[in-house]
Each structure stands twice: as C-alpha cells, then as structure tokens.
Chain A
Amino acid sequence: MKEKARRFLEGPRLDAFSKVTGRERYAADEYSKEFFWAGAKRALIPHARLLAVHTTRAAAHPGVLRVLTFRDVGGSNRLGIVRNHQPVLVDEFIRHAGDAVALVVARSREALHEALDLITFDHEPLPGVFDPEEALKDGAPRVHEDNEEGNLVRAVRVRRGDPDVTFRGCDVVVEGMLETPRQEHTYLETEAGWAYVDGDGVLVVVTSTQTPYRDRKEMAAALGLGVDRVRVVAPCLGGAFGGKDGITVQCLVGLAALSAGGVPVKMWWNRRESFLASVKRLPARMYYRLGAKADGTFQALSCRLYFDAGPYAGLAGEVMAMGVEHAGSAYRIPNVDIEGYCVYTNSALGGPFRGFGVPQATAGMEQVVDMVAGKLGMDPLEVRRVNALGTGDRNCVGVELRYSAGFSECVDKLVEHPLWKEREAWKASAPPWKKRGCGVGCMAHAIGYPALIPDEANARVELTENGTIRVYSGVSDMGQGNACAYLRIAGEILNQDPATMEVVQPDTDHDLPSGTSSASRTTYTFGNAVIQAAGSLKEIILRAGAQCLEIEDMDSLELVPDAVRIKGSGRKAALRDVAALIDAGDRSCKGYFRTPYDESTLEIMYLGTHVLFSYGAHLARIEVDTLTGRIDVVDYVAVTDAGRVLNRAQYDQQVQGSIAQGIGYALMEDYIVKDGRHETEDLATYIVPTSLDVPDMVSIAVETDETTGPFGMKGIGEVVISGCVPAIANAFHDACGVRITRVPLTPQRVLSALAGQGGEE
C-alpha cells in the first residue's frame, strides 16, 4: 500500500465530538412538544392459549388514548425473517413470558404504567418445554402445533470422508459435553422508537435498529401497509451487538402511531422489558469427539450441537448453521460428522449476538483440542499449528479457502509472545491460595452472508452545492464507527479531509438497501460500495474541473482538498465552483458491491456457506482464588488476522470490546430462565464486566492483504469474541487440573470443581 493511499484512513472518530458533548441524538432522545407514550402488556407466563384480554378499565383511564389488541392490527400480525410466526400482539398462543398481549397509548408515562396494570387477560395454561434435547423427544409439549418437525426449527448435518472408520484408527480420541449459557447483549440504550404518520400518510419510524430496510418490509406486512407507506430512519444506535438485528419496538410503536392522529408516539423499553422481550445469545449444549494421530494431526471430528432457539425462529436456525460451519474452528479435519439442531422452547427469545453461533461452537471445539494436546503431551499451540488452515486447504465443512488466511501467522505470533514463553515462571510464582494458568483459544469467523443470501451494498457519495462531500450510509452504525469508516474511505479516494465531510445515517427514503449492520460486513461490504461510488464521483468532478479550468486533458488534473488542481501547477478550481458546473442529479454517484460467494456450497448445507474468513489466536493468563473461587483475568493477548488495518484505534476498539464481552461470557454472564420464568431481571442480577474485571489487553494484528477488501481489510467486529471462553476455560484447566464443562466459570462452580464435586452450581 502506497503511503499516499493512507492519508485519511487513520485519525480519531468523526462522531466523537457529538458523542462526548452529549449532542448525538439517538432514537431514545426523540421528544416533541406534544407526544404520546406507548407500552406493551407482557404475558409473563411461558405457554398458554389466550382466551380474552380485558381492556375496559385501562381504556377508561383519563390519561389513556387507546388500548389496542391483535384485533387492531391491520396486516398479518406476524413477524419473522425466515418464518413469519411471531405475533405483534398475541392472538391465540402465548409462547414465552415476553410476548405482548396488548398495547397502550397514553398521554404520560405515569398514565401508561397505571393503565398497563389495569389490563388483565384470561388464559388456559399449557405445559411448556424448556430444554432443547427434551423438546426433541416424542410427546414433548409442542411450541408450535403446526410445525411439521415437532419442536425442531432446523437441523443441519455435514458429513465428509469416513469418520467412523477413521476414529478406530486414531491414536487418541477425546470426548466432551460442553455447555454455554444464554448471554444478554446489554447494550446501554434499551430498545427505543419514535413513530408518527406524516402529512403524506406515511408511517415514519425513527428507531434503534441494525436492519432498517428489512424492518420496513416486515412492518408493512405485519401492519397491512404498502412498503412505500413505511419509512424507517436509523440514527446512531446506543449499542446493539446483534440484539437489534430485527424488529423490537418497531411494529408496536408503529401500530400505536397509526391510531394517534398524526401525534408522535414514543416507546422506550425499560431494562426489565428489554431483558424480557429481546433476543439473547442461544444457549448451546455440545457433544464433541475429536480423534488425532500421535503427531497431533486431526483425523476425525464428530459433534452434535443443540441450540435453544426459544419460542420463535427469528434467525436462530441460521445461528445454528453458522455454528455448524465453524464447528471445526480453524483446522484441517478430513473426516467429519457434524450435526446441528436448533430447537423451539418456551424460554427466552434466541437470536443474533456478536459471533452468531461461532462463540458456542468454538468454545466446544477449542476445549477438546486442548484435551487432545493434553493426552498427547503436546504443547497446545503446537497442536494448533500442526493443523492450522491456510489458503488452499478445505475447512471442516469442505469449503476450499481461496482468500487470505493468516491463521498460522496468528499462532506463530502467540508462540513468540513473552507472556506465552515465560508462562511457567509466572505460574510458579503464584501467591498463597492462588493458582495460575495459561490458556489458548483460536478461531475463524466468516465475513458476510452465506451463499444463498446476496450480500450486497449500495452506497451514494455526493458533491454538495457547497463543494463538500456527503456520504449516504445504507448500513446502521450501532457504535462500531462504520459511518466514520465510510467517510474516511471516501476521503481517501477523493483526497478530501474526512473532517470536512458529512455522513447521512440510513433512511429507507434514500433507497440504498444495503443489508444489515451485522455479519462482520459493515465496512467490508459497504466500504467496497463506497469505493465504487467515490471513484465514479471522482471522474465527474475531474471532468467538470477540466471544464472549469478550461483544459482538455483530464489526466493532467488531480483532486486536492477542496479543489481540482492542474498537476505540478498552482492553478486550481475550488470544488464549490466545480459543483456549480454539474447538474444536481449528476453530483451524486452510486456504488454497488457484492461479497464473494460460491453457489456450489449450497450442496453442503441450507443457505450454503461462506468463503471468506478472519482468524485469530488468543492467550489468557488467569489467577484462581482457591478460597473464594474468583477468577481474575490478569493478561490477555489477542492476535487477529482481519486483513489490513484501516484505522488502528477503531480496530482495537473492536478487539478490546469483544474481549470484555468474552470475559463476561466466560466468567459471569448467565441469563437465567427457569421453567420459562425470567429470574434475571436487571443489571443487579445480570452482571457484566466493569472496569475492575478487565485487564489491559494486548492486540496484535496479522495484516494479510485481502485483495477483495477495501484497502485490504476483512471484518473485525465478531471474530475476536469466540476466543475468550476457550482461552479462559483452558487456562482454568491449566491452573487447577480439572475442567468445568459449563461456562460461566462462577465462583460457585470453581469451588465445586476444586472440591472434586464436578463444577456444578
């Protein structure tokens, strides 16, 4: 990469000023002189037939405008991405505690809460099912009576080679049942929306969403409106991590606005409602079996992965499929039998969360990899190096890797790291009553959507009348700073200082459908589209510049900040003057990009697979307090191949934030739902890491040059989180000589394991 080409990519985030001064306006910050509050009556029971909803008393409350039930929903009253079966307001069956049975529109927040308490409903309780394996047994209560496959959302099976025969010839075979918990995203901004019907009769919803274009279609169908009668605007999100990959408040606040006579309606879930009604990372139970030769080479893998989807399909089946695709982590394994089951239960909603099924599978695989190393007496990094995937290899589901793959380099960097090399001395110097351990966890993570779903982006870059550059984003910025990345990429192409440019956040009115803010794709996919758009605009600007400067030869011109200049001369034309020569319609250019895919992978599994991956190798050094059971993560090293680093600060933000969430997943986060009842209610019962729980972190970038990526980059948003659970769990085994098969490694589990009681709580 030439020096010149990196002029504007580095630098502080361009949204930092508005955020640090409190001026950034989130969906939760919408207010106006007159507006109504909307709120949902939640079922709070896991499974029942709804018989009647009694709204008269609530409707009679003087502060209440309307009380709405399913009868007031004009459309299908159904939400869903793959299957449309989640009611906006329950009409027949309650399938989890967070289902909404009625909607109140009130003049004040106080009136809203009083009215919600006045609503009652009659129901016939139904037996529930709360464990995915139980749910697959004959005679288990059915979550959806009409589902032909019982409680199965979807099953995926990938077989390659002959695992059964191969296992018999292995020198070592290890087995383990490993479990991961339900993790809550706990974004700081709970679900919020602001809706009104505008002067043209269009329902406008300003909301905290990762998916404005998909939401629009889903809302239109559920509420019975034409797609062109719905507009979704997505300002900056106060965090999301996958939890806002889909409808949260949108239909409810939209439905409320349809009955509010043009007055805006605000819906903002409190933390408890957010916990009750939002998706969580799917809990997983994984049965792993891995066989290797004496030299450490993996020969065969068989595993069964059970994912608890909760009551509705959402994207749960796709999360499971992604887990299957990554079940073998970043290794060559010629013989596999991988089964994945995604199962309905009456527990909490399951859905996307940073990693999308990969953290679960990686937690399983990377622990059995350590078990193989242990049985063979091999160094855990050596066994990983021996089996490391590289370009040209086939991954566990048989996809040939044709793009950049720097996994071996990641492992090598860790091997060389002083925190790894000097681990034995560090462990030996543990203070009294403490045990120290070092653990490794590695991972791969796919970029973009699987083959069947076009992973496309449409960007628009404009030269304004004032001669400044404006970038229209089609992908929500949930906090990762992709909007800033788009400005920097456009600035790089157009040689303009991004600080003088403007980004417009997604709005379906701008007609730039670009998919979701997810799948480690936001900068990769949309960034490529920005490069296309900015490249086209550059041509237009130079052509007009030639006209302005009255010269024929466009090649003698260059773009410089705020002007078009004749190369090697001081003569230039200000962009404002250049802009005046271009028709308004020609001052903006669109760019399009589709992420690489391989249709032949449709034969491997439902939706096909991915072809492009980021990779990483992690080291955790932990200290276990044998008296209290507390684990401290003392040092953490994350080596990552996410291609070229465009902006080091933003890159490390993703690395560090992922590690903190991963430490939470490994040590403390467990959203408890018992028999369908949410025992976790708030941030006093759901503990996430604070500044006291994370160490200073070492982030090392292995910068492969991904030729399909904007300036050589690949996605960094998700890959890192998958390494944390295995690195920490393996470190615990290293410290204490026992393995706790279920994370989080709470003090209770640690003390139980140390007492030889199996690590149960």
Chain B
Amino acid sequence: MKRKISFILNGSPVVVETDAARRAVDVLREDLGLTGVKEGCGSGECGACSILVDDVVKLSCIMTAAQLEGRKVVTIEGVGRDGELHPVQRSFVECGAIQCGFCTPGMVIAAVGLLKENPDPTREEIHAGLSGNICRCTGYEKIIDAVEDAAAKLRGGGSGG
C-alpha cells in the first residue's frame, strides 16, 4: 500500500509516496535518482548500499522505505559541501583508494561513519571498522591508508565533519 514518507535527505526535506515495504535502496535509486547508492548483494553482506541514517551507517538494501520516516539520511551525494570534497573523499582520491569505484560510495560512507564514532582510530580499528564493506579491486591497503589520512586531516583542520 502506498503512503507518504517524509525524511531529511542530504540536508533537504523530501516526501515520497511509495509502498512502505519497498527497499530503501530502490526508493533512493529509482524514485530519487540517487544512483551513487550502489547495490552489490541485496542481502546486507557487501556494504555497497551504505547510507548514514541519523549519523549511523546503515545498509539500505535491507531497510524498508518506512524505516526512513522522520530520519536524517545522508547518501554519497550528500557527503561534502558546496561542491567541495569531504576530507574522506579527498583522501580516497589522493591515496589511490579507488579502482572500479562501485564499492567507493559505500566505503566512503562507512569511513565517514567510523570517523564520527572514532576520530582517532588505529590502523587495526580501521581494518575492523571497514570490514562490513567488500572491495574486490584494491586489496584494501590504499583504502586503509586513505582513512588514516582523512582522520589526520579531520583532526587537524576540523572541516567537513
């Protein structure tokens, strides 16, 4: 059954009229055009569909549209401000953490979430913090480098957080 669902998406209020049981990832991609939200498995295993819901990393492929009601939702399209890359994004570019790029949006979201929770993680904590996001191209090393680098940037500059 269709109903109206209201939430804050990337800083702006939105209302979508949809079946409440539809997957959040489909609503975001198909109805709202946010194709930066990727789907890699559809079963909560790969992390490609990661979004921030009230600042916490969530998997939009195992959430329903109804679960977005009243929440503050951030997708990759809402990371960074005024056309500027977020420090995490900048570090991903500079550290060579991107190959095919299909895991990248989810990985960036996971890293942003991790650094909100733990602004000064050890390398081991980064390994653990990103372990819900599969990357098949990079072998993770440059991604871990990028998150370390971004953490330093964020602590130093305080921007973007």
Binding site for B on A (CB under 8 A): 12-13, 15-26, 28-29, 31, 109, 185-190, 236-241, 270-271, 478-481, 649-650, 652-653, 656-661, 682-684, 688-692, 694, 696-697
Contact = CB atoms under 8 A, between A and B. Distances in A.
28 contacts: A17-B85, A19-B104, A20-B104, A22-B35, A22-B36, A31-B29, A31-B30, A185-B136, A186-B136, A187-B102, A187-B136, A188-B134, A188-B136, A189-B102, A238-B38, A238-B100, A652-B142, A653-B96, A657-B137, A661-B136, A684-B43, A689-B139, A690-B130, A690-B131, A691-B130, A691-B133, A691-B144, A697-B139
Given A479-B137, A653-B137, A657-B138, A22 B41 contact: no
A641 to B, nearest CB: 20
Given A25-B35, A691-B143, A694-B140, A190 B99 contact: no
Interface stretch (B52-60, B65-73, B87-95): B87-95
A694 B77 CA distance: 30
B2 to A, nearest CB: 13
Interface residues of B, number: 55
B46 interface: yes
A20 B89 contact: yes
Given A185-B136, A239-B100, 9 more contacts: A22-B75, A25-B35, A652-B142, A683-B45, A684-B43, A688-B136, A691-B143, A692-B128, A696-B141
Interface string B86-116: 0001001110101111111100100000000
A238 B101 contact: yes
B13 interface: no
B36 A653 contact: no
Contacts of B142: 649, 652-653, 656
B48 interface: yes
A480 B43 contact: no
A691 B99 contact: no
Given A12-B94, A13-B98, A188-B46, A23 B136 contact: no
Contacts of A18: 101
- Shortest beta-carbon contacts, A-B, top 7: A22-B36, A479-B100, A238-B102, A19-B101, A660-B139, A656-B139, A649-B96
Interface of B: 26, 29-30, 33-43, 45-46, 48, 75-77, 79-80, 85, 89, 92-94, 96, 98-105, 108, 126-128, 130-144
Nearest to A690: B131
B45 A479 contact: no
Contacts of B127: 691-692
Contacts of B128: 691-692
Tell me which of B101, B142, B144 has the highest count of chain A C-beta atoms within 10 A of its own C-beta.
B101
Contact of A17 (B48, B93, B133): B93
B98 A20 contact: yes
B48 A188 contact: yes
B45 A684 contact: yes
Given A20-B92, A20-B93, A31-B35, A188 B100 contact: yes
Contact of A22 (B37, B40, B134): B37
A189 B38 contact: yes
A689 B127 CA distance: 12
Given A23-B36, A479-B137, A683 B99 contact: no
B35 A657 contact: no
A717 B36 CA distance: 27
Given A31-B30, A657-B99, A660-B139, A189 B80 contact: no
Contacts of A21: 36, 76-77, 79-80, 85, 89
A683 B136 contact: no
Contacts of A692: 127-128, 131
B139 A271 contact: no
A480 B99 contact: yes
A378 B102 CA distance: 46
Nearest to A685: B45
A190 B101 CA distance: 13
A109 B100 CA distance: 26
Given A271-B42, A656-B138, A696-B141, A16 B98 contact: yes
A446 to B, nearest CB: 22
A238 B39 CA distance: 11
B136 A239 contact: yes
Nearest to A109: B26
A543 B32 CA distance: 51
B99 A22 contact: no
B60 to A, nearest CB: 13
Contacts of A694: 139-141
Contacts of B26: 109
B38 A188 contact: yes
A19 B41 contact: no
Tell me which of B34, B98, B100 has the highest count of chain A C-beta atoms within 10 A of its own C-beta.
B100
Contacts of A661: 136, 139
A190 B43 contact: no
A691 B136 CA distance: 10
Nearest to B22: A110
A683 B33 CA distance: 27
A29 B35 contact: yes
A683 B104 contact: no
A237 B41 CA distance: 16
Contact of A24 (B40, B101, B141): B101
Contacts of A479: 99-102, 137
Contacts of B41: 271, 682-683
A653 B98 CA distance: 9
B45 A26 contact: no
Contacts of A185: 136
Contacts of A12: 93-94, 96
Contacts of A237: 100
A507 to B, nearest CB: 19
Nearest to A663: B139
Contacts of B126: 691
Contacts of B133: 690-691
